[in-house]
Structure 1
């Protein structure tokens, strides 16, 4: 996929056309279109990336991750496994370690609060999504 194709794709995803992106990035009317035949300068490319909320590497096709901090599927699976271990450690009080050091009671309490908070947020979201309209407030 070319630079222009990536910009068009992510612009559409964000609900913008290229004229709007040019404007929001304070570029000339046809600046992005000109990148079909010539290399953009870094400042203009960075301005477009910032408007679209992606990295310049994504726009240039060096990565398929929109941002460097996006998690891969493998990272997400690994985190899920670690979360399970943490929950087990909180429940039984054993083997809960942070970077090789046993967790303090304060750390365990914080984790439990965080997990409960996340579960509450997920439950509220599910209720909003799945509760019949005639049962809503």
Structure 2
């Protein structure tokens, strides 16, 4: 997203509008709308961040890039990019870009889930903090409420149906353990 789109999102979340924000911060008429064409000075970005009480990264990138990268590196720890990619199922280029601080794009929700699932340091980097830094403040909002399997045409023995029940209970307990 662009800086203007990020500011629009912040305005919408806080119930204000860009023109009103510009007036309150003493910027010229329509100045913020021009920031996609001509980059604003860092002091103006800082004023917007202070107004909304968010880090500068949120204004610039739409999420807390610096905080996310720090957490990414903690979770990655001493694993090589190749090891981390293999452990998480994340594309090697993507791992390298976040590890080296090259990308400024918000990570997808799926990518953040993969990182969280590979996090051996949950006492240091909690899932909620990781999701929040990545721009997904309410991770539960993105979790499916129901998972269903359909097996028409298959004849299941009583023993197999019991195994399916046990597996469902295992998954439920695993989910509770992760919370």
Shorter-chain TM range is: 0.3 to 0.5
TM-score by length of structure 1 reads 0.46
TM-score by length of structure 2 reads 0.36
